[in-house]
Amino acid sequence: MKKTVDATGLACPLPVIETKKALKEMSEGQLEVVVDNIVSLQNLEKMAKQMGLAYSLETVHDSKHIIHIAVGEISSKEEPNCEAVSGNTVVVLSSETMGSGDAELGRVLMKSFIYALTELDRLPDKVLLYNSGVKLSVNGSDSLEDLQKLEGQGVEILNCGTCLDFFDLTDQLATGSITNMYEIVQSQMEAGTIIQP
Amino acid sequence: MGFDRSDDAAVYRLTDDLAIVQTLDFFPPMLDDPYIFGQVAAANSLSDVYAMGAVPKTALNIVCFPEKMDINVLSQVLQGGSEKVMEAGAVLAGGHSIDDVDVKYGLSVTGIIDPHKIYTNVGCEPGDVLILTKPLGVGIVCTADRVGEASPEAMEQAIKSMTTLNKYAAEVVRSFPVHACTDVTGFGFLGHLHEMLGGQSRAVIYSSQIPHISEALQYAEEFLITGAAQRNRNFLEDHVEIESQVPFGIEELLFDPQTSGGLLVSVPKEVGEQVLAELEKLGMPCGIVGEVIGRGEKEIIVK
């Protein structure tokens, strides 16, 4: 699939917004965005870089610049693999609950899921927490002790900074470090296995 | 003061202990409400006088307005502006208007000061702490608002910040030894810091200590970013080193152009906490955001 967004004549942040929209509609293929100034091109480059997308830049002339973005299957489901896979094992906790249906049940399940992680023979390399997932790493969380135990055993615990900020919990963070979208994307791109309960 | 440095206003000495400070600033609306735009434009124009440590005395309106547009809109703009001039304790003494395709508004402000007490925006000394008196992010929030993505709460915080006169922060810092002072506007926090360091000093900035509008960070992470911030980034590239763990959103906030931004003040470390405690009483998010350090390679390091 190949798509072109003509963002000439648009002022920032509109080229970026139009590009985001187009990316959302594409699962794979080539996206071409045409802009009329170098600053818009640089803003698009920043976005592609932050999103972990492969891209190349082209300047046709002074008022025509193009970014070519290769859209891949970023969040594709991993194939089940019996062999110990190469690369990192990354656990993604995108919510404070496990599964959907009943929130209370979801909380109980999440607590026992994280406890079970601590009992694994081969621990994951990283745990990524975002959206309400970050509530698991703050003071008062039922899973705090288990996450701290994982951290103590060398598992990298990474919490989404925007999310902590959103819930106003940044100063309550009790385990792991704060990360950004670039690292969240990068960690998943580089992962051998992604586990998302 | 000469033109070799980038001071916030022009200074003319009248007598040994009296000088006038003159500034001029005007721009197109960054938000929809004409009355609030008037307030923001006036607070922004007055700010340069405060950044010099001076007291505003007279102001003149500068108006560009389309003949075909509803004249009531203009009267609301001027109403907002005049209220801020009054709050500043200055007199609105007249102005000039012309027909133009777009609305633009601002003021030329004249203030007075004892020439021995002028704050320059250079003169930081190693060991100083850097204090910012308003939150960053108003540029990003206004940008998000223009494309319908800003929450009413975020916009409210941005408006509160932009319409607040730097008068109050200036009054607080006046009772402390100030080594350098400027206001943060179009060149963004890092751009104005760069001016303040003046090729003489260096600074380390703590990204976790930057007062900011929290939604602005979220909007930046969603790439609601401006062309002007990128131009600031391009200009400062050689002077700034941003460590890799600094979140992308904070980076954008540091380059984000501010309208009617806060004062950036360099004071000796010993009084830093005291200045901050006094500023906090004003109810505006503020903070000690960094330190002036000795010689080294990059001028500004963001940790």
CATH of the domain at A140: 3.40.1260.10
Record the tokens describing residue B103, joined without a space: 């609305």
A24 and A94: one domain? no
| DSSP code of residue B5 | S
Q: Please indicate whether, in this complex, the C-beta atoms of A162 and B223 are within 8 angstroms of each other.
A: no
Record the tokens describing residue B91, joined without a space: 């007199």
Q: Say if residue B207's pLDDT is above 90.
A: yes
What residues in chain A have per-residue pLDDT under 70?
73-86
pLDDT (0 to 100) of residue A184:
87
The DSSP code sequence of A100-159 is SS-HHHHHHHHHHHHHHHHT-SS--SEEEE-GGGGGGGBTT-TTHHHHHHHHHTT-EEEE
Domains in chain B (CATH in brackets) are 10-117 (3.30.1330.10), 128-302 (3.90.650.10)
A159 and A114: one domain? yes
Q: What's the whole-number mean pLDDT along residues B161-183?
A: 95
A189 and A98: one domain? yes
The answer to whether residue A177 sits within a structural domain is yes
A40 and A129: one domain? no
| Interface test with chain A among B223, B236, B237, B252, by most A beta carbons within 10 Å | B223
Q: Give me the helix-helix angle, B214-221 and B248-255, nearest 10°.
A: 110
Q: What residue has token string 């690292």? A: A183
The answer to whether residue A76 sits within a structural domain is no
Are B47 and B16 spatial neighbours (Cβ–Cβ below 8 Å)? no
A66 and A113: one domain? no
Are B255 and B216 spatial neighbours (Cβ–Cβ below 8 Å)? no
The answer to whether residue A81 sits within a structural domain is no
pLDDT (0 to 100) of residue B7:
63
- Opening angle at CA B272, ends B20 and B133, nearest 5: 55
* Residue of A79, A55, A74, A80 lying closest to A66 (CA atoms): A55
Tell me the nearest-neighbour CA distance from A35 into chain B, angstroms.
12
The answer to whether residue A113 sits within a structural domain is yes
| Interface test with chain B among A8, A35, A38, A39, by most B beta carbons within 10 Å | A39
Tell whether B234 is within 8 A of chain A (Cβ): yes
Tell whether A20 is within 8 A of chain B (Cβ): yes
Tell whether A148 is within 8 A of chain B (Cβ): no
What range defines the domain where residue A125 resides? 88-195
Tell whether A171 is within 8 A of chain B (Cβ): no
Tell whether A94 is within 8 A of chain B (Cβ): no
State which of A71, A101, A125 marks the end of a domain.
A71
pLDDT (0 to 100) of residue A80:
39
Cα distance between residue B140 and residue B224, in whole Å: 7
Q: Report the complex ipTM.
A: 0.78
Encode B205-237: b = buried (16+ Cβ within 10 Å), e = exposed: bebeebbbbbbbbbbbbbbbbbbbbbbbbebbe
**DSSP-based three-state secondary structure for B282:** coil
pLDDT (0 to 100) of residue A81:
40
State which of A14, A43, A71 marks the end of a domain.
A71
pLDDT (0 to 100) of residue B10:
86
Q: Note if the pTM is more than 0.80.
A: no
Task: Count interface pairs A-B at CB distance under 8 A.
Answer: 66
Cα distance between residue B241 and residue B247, in whole Å: 14
pLDDT in tens, B272-287: 999 999 999 999 999 9
pLDDT (0 to 100) of residue A101:
84
Name the pLDDT band for B75 (thresholds 50, 70, 90).
very high
Query: What is the number of structural domains in chain A?
Result: 2
pLDDT (0 to 100) of residue A180:
87
A10 and A92: one domain? no
The DSSP code sequence of B173-195 is HHTS--SEEEE--TTHHHHHHHH
Amino acid (one-letter) located at B3: F
Higher-confidence residue of A176 and B136: namely: B136
A115 and A160: one domain? yes
Say whether A82 is catalytic.
no
Q: Please indicate whether, in this complex, the C-beta atoms of B214 and A46 are within 8 angstroms of each other.
A: no
In chain A, residues with a C-beta closer than 8 Å to the C-beta of B227 are 11-12, 37, 39-40, 43
A42 and A125: one domain? no
The answer to whether residue A163 sits within a structural domain is yes
Name the pLDDT band for B229 (thresholds 50, 70, 90).
very high
The answer to whether residue A94 sits within a structural domain is yes
Q: Tell me, what CATH number does A45's domain have? A: 3.30.110.40
pLDDT in tens, B236-262: 999 999 998 899 999 999 999 999 999
pLDDT (0 to 100) of residue A88:
82
Tell whether A10 is within 8 A of chain B (Cβ): no
A124 and A52: one domain? no
A162 and A127: one domain? yes
Q: Say if residue B35's pLDDT is above 80.
A: yes
The answer to whether residue A29 sits within a structural domain is yes
Q: What are phi and psi of A35, to 5 degrees?
A: -130, 165
The answer to whether residue A80 sits within a structural domain is no
In chain A, residues with a C-beta closer than 8 Å to the C-beta of B245 are 177
| Interface test with chain A among B136, B140, B143, B230, by most A beta carbons within 10 Å | B230
A171 and A99: one domain? yes
A93 and A187: one domain? yes
Q: What's the whole-number mean pLDDT along residues B216-242?
A: 92
In chain A, residues with a C-beta closer than 8 Å to the C-beta of B226 are 12-13
